[in-house]
Amino acid sequence: MNIPQTSFPRVVIIGGGFAGLAVARGLEGKELQVVLLDKHNYHTFQPLLYQVATGGLEPDSIAFPLRKRFNNIENFFFRLAEVTGIDSEEKEIETSIGNLHYDYLVIATGSTTNFFGSTNIKKYTMEMKSIPQSLNIRSLILENFEEALLTSDLEERKKLMNFVIVGGGPTGVELAGALAEMKKGILPKDYPDLDIRLMKINLIQGADCLLKGMSPKASEKAEDFLIKLGVDVWKDLRVFDYDGDMVKTDGTDNFRAATVIWAAGVKGAAIEGLESECVVERAERYKVDEFSRVQHHDTIFAIGDVACMKSEKYPYGHPMMAQPAIQQGQLLAKNILAELRGKPMKPFAYNDKGSMATVGRNKAVVDLNKWKFQGVFAWFVWMFVHLFSLIGFRNKAVVFLNWVYNYIRFDRETRLIIRPYKKRNKYSFEEQES
């Protein structure tokens, strides 16, 4: 990998998401060598992926080049690599570009879509965990509309204009809202010869309310907002199959749709190599103690979505969101430095600042510790917090400009099919795979 061996201990961080960046920042310019690995050369601001998928933001404005973040930092190395294994005895990781020795290993690989073992669902639905995946959704939505124009088979047209989003968490809610706004303001103008009433947006939630982790008031209000925007919200309904044509549920309602977006679950992106007892079954998150140390491994840490730190308040670990990831990363940097200096580590205590979700223009829900509110003000708070959290001045400026433009003009201008997405429906899938 061509990384010099120095007298400084080497901290290897896998993943440049919120958690990984927070540790790396905390270790800047200290008596350590830091190696950051990521399979992309940029940090992705995941909370805004749904706006890329629906033509509201350009992909490049929610990505930040990782190398730039660490320009001029001594003893810092970035490598574009995929990590495939961990050899904890040899203190070595295996990657797509060779092996690397570590003194401390920080696993911050985040999460990946959970299809709960269904190969069909994995094959035919769309994911939205990365920028390329969001661009695929953007292309597919537009390609479906172009195709719907051409067919004279009404059932086929209905299928092409039927969108099913599975999962009523923040991702599903935000995406459904954004699609509903496209239906309202954009698509009827772009496709005047299509009957926009044929377009359906179905949001399917397994639980009995949307936004499970938020307050009952937020759930209700989000549902209310979505219904007003014309989204069909289905609760207490679970999807168990999709063959590229029909979404099958455990209720009496099935859906014929060309586009199904799977936002029904995530799991930790654990890496091969550690003993199976270190990993929580199914959730695939590493069991860590209050210092983010992976069980049985003194020099291996896991933070963010891939870590499961159980506590009285969080018996299943912290929520898989940006805030715990950032806080764990910040503390871990301090703890690694403390250990190096022979000082005791501090245990992690999550400072829950609250959560929020946006449904559309002037419509958001915010739960703070003691204050819960919904509507226009919540929407401005949501925008401010997200703008502020984006990395980089340019990104902030471009996103702000787009939001102002979209707000004033009721528009979403990046409705571009830059790379067509070849649909993996049951007729063409085999061809495409070969």
Q: 50 vs 234, which CB is nearer to a copy of itself?
A: 50
Q: Is 135 or 325 the residue whose CB approaches a copy of itself more closely?
A: 135
Compute the least distance from the CB of residue 60 to a copy of itself, in Å. 4
**315 residue type, one letter:** P
The token pair at 421 is: 């997405």
User: Is 349 or 397 the residue whose CB approaches a copy of itself more closely?
Assistant: 397
Whether 33 contacts 10, CB under 8 Å: yes
Q: Which of residues 39-98 bind a copy of itself (CB under 8 A)?
A: 40-42, 58-61, 63-65, 67-68, 71-72, 77, 79-80, 97-98
Q: With CB under 8 A, what is the number of residues at the site for a copy of itself?
A: 52
In the complex, the smallest distance separating the C-beta of residue 345 from a copy of itself, rounded to whole angstroms, is 32
Rounded to an integer, what distance in angstroms lies between the CA atom of residue 305 and that of residue 129? 13
Q: CB-wise, 61 or 205, nearer to a copy of itself?
A: 61
249 lies in the site for a copy of itself, by CB under 8 A:
no
Nearer to a copy of itself, 41 or 299 (CB): 41
CB of 149 to a copy of itself, least distance (A): 6
In the complex, least distance from residue 71 CB atom to a copy of itself, rounded to whole angstroms = 4
C-beta of 340 vs 417, nearer to a copy of itself: 417
| Pair of tokens at residue 266 | 């995530």
Place of tokens 């250990």: 339
Nearer to a copy of itself, 202 or 414 (CB): 414
DSSP label of 136? H
The answer to whether 154 contacts a copy of itself (rule: CB under 8 A) is: no
- Of 107, 111, 130, the C-alpha closest to 20 is 107
> Does the footprint of a copy of itself cover residue 413 (CB under 8 A)?
yes
Q: Which stretch binds a copy of itself (CB under 8 A): 8-16, 22-30, 37-45, 211-219?
A: 37-45
| C-alpha closest to that of 47 among 358, 407, 279 | 358
Q: Please name the residue that has the structure tokens 């990984």.
A: 20
DSSP letter string over 234-272? E-S--EEEE-SSEEEESSS--EE-SEEEE-S-EEE-PPT
The active-site residue, picked from 174, 223, 290, 430, is 174
User: Exactly one of 5, 119, 152, 276 binds a copy of itself (CB under 8 A); which one?
Assistant: 152
* Terminal C-alpha separation, the chain: 32
As a whole number of angstroms, the distance between CA 358 and CA 375 comes to 9
Cα separation, 92 vs 103, in Å, equals 9
Question: Rounded to whole angstroms, how far apart are CA atoms 157 and 146?
Answer: 10
Contact between 407 and a copy of itself by CB under 8 A: the answer reads no
Residues near 151 by Cβ (< 8 Å), separated by ≥ 6? 157, 160
Question: Measured between alpha carbons, how far is residue 29 from residues 10, 34, 93, 249, 371 in Å?
Answer: 13, 9, 24, 54, 39
Q: In whole angstroms, what is the distance from residue 3 CA to residue 7 CA?
A: 13
Per CB under 8 A, which of residues 376..405 are in contact with a copy of itself?
A: 392-395, 397-398, 401-402, 405
User: In the complex, what is the shortest distance from the CB of residue 55 to a copy of itself, in angstroms, rounded to a whole number?
Assistant: 8
Q: For this structure, is 174 an active site residue?
A: yes
Q: Which positions touch a copy of itself (CB under 8 A)? A: 1-2, 40-42, 58-61, 63-65, 67-68, 71-72, 77, 79-80, 97-98, 131-132, 135, 142-143, 146, 149-152, 189-191, 193, 392-395, 397-398, 401-402, 405, 411, 413-419
Residues with catalytic roles: 174
